[in-house]
Amino acid sequence: MNRFDGLKYSEIAEILNISVKTVETQMGRALKKMRTRLKPLLPSILSLLMMLLIVIVMD
């Protein structure tokens, strides 16, 4: 809701009827999980981006 809908934590808390602190905690946990799960993929993503950049520059 925060990232896709641009809602503030206070707005999310009101919609879900939970505290702002709960929203903050859950967002922190979710972002940490995402970073942990995506970290092993970073070298592959960077390689693909470099190849794409090379193709764009050479075109």
Counting the structural domains of the chain, the total is: 1
Give the span between the Cα atoms of 29 and 50, in whole angstroms: 31
CATH code of the domain containing 43 = 1.10.10
CA angle 17–35–32, rounded 5-degree value: 40
User: pTM for the full model?
Assistant: 0.65
Distance in Å from the first CA to the final CA of the chain:
39
Q: Evaluate if residue 1 carries a pLDDT over 80.
A: no
26 is in which domain, residue-wise? 2-58
Q: Which tokens sit at 51?
A: 């190849």
Tens digit of each residue's pLDDT (9 = 90 or more) over 49-58: 999 999 999 8
pLDDT tens by residue, 2-39: 777 889 999 999 999 999 999 999 999 999 999 999 99
Residue from 13, 14, 12, 10 nearest 1 by CA: 12
